[in-house]
Amino acid sequence: MLRTVAVVGTGLIGTSIGLAVSRHGVTVHLLDQDEVAARTAAALGAGLVGAPDEPADLAVIAVPPGAVGEVLGRTQARGLARSYTDVASVKAQLTREMLTSLPDPSHYVGGHPLAGGEHSGPLAARAGLFEDRAWVLTPSPTTSRDAVNRVFEMIALCGAVPVIMDSRAHDDAVALTSHAPHLLASLMAARLRLGSQDEIRLAGQGLHDMTRMAVRDPGLWSDILQANAPAVAGVLRELRDDLTTVLGTLDDLSDAPRDMRSRTLKPVVDLLDDGAAGLAAIHGRRSADRETQVEVLVADRPGQLARLLDALRALRVEPEDVMPRHSPEEGTLSMRFAVPAVRAGRIVLELEQGGWDADSIDPASGARRQRAVAPPRRTGEPHRGFREPLIPARK
């Protein structure tokens, strides 16, 4: 059980973590080279300024990506905590560095909460920043059970949803969904500096929405882009190809006969259709939260999670649609996924017949369905209320 957390870096993310876990009775120690920032975070109720007298259960390194390695190495060398994580938005390069440079890399697990805001600094922090947001973990083969368990517990206290990913897959994903969009928002915002006052006066909500993500901290984003340059460049090359198509089509329109303009414009119309499909995919992904949720408890024995994922594939549920959830109260790990309501009952029944402890959850009330009889269960499979360690001890 987490009792003490050390937060190194009291900006938006670090202070929000302190606020979130403090409300659950965890003692938080705040460290920052900027004493004003640390004291501001403490005044908000995020914790106490200064290092703990004894090693904290968990240290969260909430500094810019370029500084994580140095700060993490220094804090582990001085024994600040028993386990360590970070919140940097780029993971592959950092993971490689940590495996070779940390005194004991087994105590470290990479992390990235998918939450933020338009403003930075402790005054922008809030305890609910992470509610229902994904929080990616990128454990390495050497990561210890205790390190993962402690970070899982912190994520649960913050109200976030843990997602385990390979560090390279994480970086590719955020290049597409975060890093490139931020850069494009900045490039569009940069065009506005050339606009006249009369032109700027016509800016509507669409322009505000598009440029809202424009980079406000060039130093931070220089670190991010440097660490994730190949993945971001890949996304931008594809966008460059699309822009080349748009530019060529618009140039051709000026010379095209009126009766040929619709045909000439078709490549751009196709791209607009692709854009509508991409937007629908985002909305469809979000609407999955309104579908019926199914939760399956995982026994703490080698091979059980892999066996469950195989069973889910047979039921047409892909691993990337499954999110792990940790219950600090019960000390258990379960897997949750959304399926159409018409399929939920059958999926739960087949899982139970296979010996799994599965529940469907009403999307409106959050209530679990009521069982008439206890489901069949293989010998040794867990049942709700049975508490086991989250991850098997490493040999």
What's the pLDDT tens digit per position in 40-51?
A: 999 999 999 999
Of 125-134, 156-165, 260-269, which gets the smallest average pLDDT?
260-269
**Sequence-ordered list of residues with C-beta below 8 angstroms from that of 80, at least 6 positions apart, any chain:** 6, 8, 51, 52, 55, 56, 59
Strands 161-164 and 108-113 come out as unpaired
Residue 99 CB burial class (10 angstroms; 0-12, 13-18, ≥19): middle
Sheet with 108-113, edge to edge strand ranges: 48-49, 27-31, 4-8, 56-61, 81-86, 108-113, 134-138, 161-164
- For residue 342, the model assigns a pLDDT of 64
Q: Does residue 232 surpass a pLDDT of 90?
A: yes
- Which pLDDT score, from 0 to 100, does residue 384 have? 36
pLDDT value at residue 59: 98
Q: Counting beta carbons within 10 angstroms of the beta carbon of residue 197, is it exposed (0 to 12), middle (13 to 18) or buried (19 or more)?
A: exposed
What angle (nearest 5°) sits at the alpha carbon of residue 107, between those of residues 103 and 111? 115
Which tokens sit at 234? 């890949």
DSSP 300-338: SSTTHHHHHHHHHHHTT--GGG-EEEEETTTTEEEEEEE
pLDDT of residue 278: 79
375 pLDDT higher than 60: no
What is the tens place of the pLDDT at every residue in 277-291? 877 777 665 544 457
Q: Is 172 helix (H, G, I), strand (E, B) or coil?
A: helix
Start-to-end CA distance of the chain, whole Å, equals 22
pLDDT at position 88 over 70: yes
Per-residue model confidence (pLDDT) at position 284: 61
Please, which pLDDT band fits residue 212 given cuts at 50, 70 and 90?
Answer: confident
Q: How confident is the model at residue 239 (pLDDT cuts 50, 70, 90)?
A: very high
pLDDT of residue 379: 33
Question: What integer pLDDT is reported at residue 366 of this predicted model?
Answer: 58
Mean pLDDT of 72-94: 94
Q: Quick one: average pLDDT of 347-355?
A: 90
- Checking if the pLDDT of 190 tops 60, the result is yes
Query: Is the pLDDT confidence value at 376 over 60?
Result: no
Q: Rounded distance, CA 310 to CA 307, Å?
A: 5
Kindly state the average pLDDT of the residues 154-173.
93
Q: What is the pLDDT of residues 277-332, one digit of tens each?
A: 877 777 665 544 457 889 999 887 888 888 999 999 888 888 878 888 887 777 78
Residue with more model confidence, 87 or 394: 87
- Stronger pLDDT, 374 or 203, i.e. the higher one: 203
Residue 207, class by beta-carbon neighbours within 10 Å (0-12 exposed, 13-18 middle, 19+ buried)?
A: middle
Distance, CA of 379 to CA of 355 (rounded, Å): 9
Can you tell me the mean pLDDT for 224-244? 93
Count each helix (H run) and each strand (E run) in the chain, helices first.
Answer: 15, 12
Q: Which residue has the higher pLDDT, 102 or 217?
A: 102
User: Residue 381: what pLDDT?
Assistant: 40
Q: For residue 221, is pLDDT > 60?
A: yes
**The dihedral of CA 5, 11, 17, 18: what is its sign?**
positive
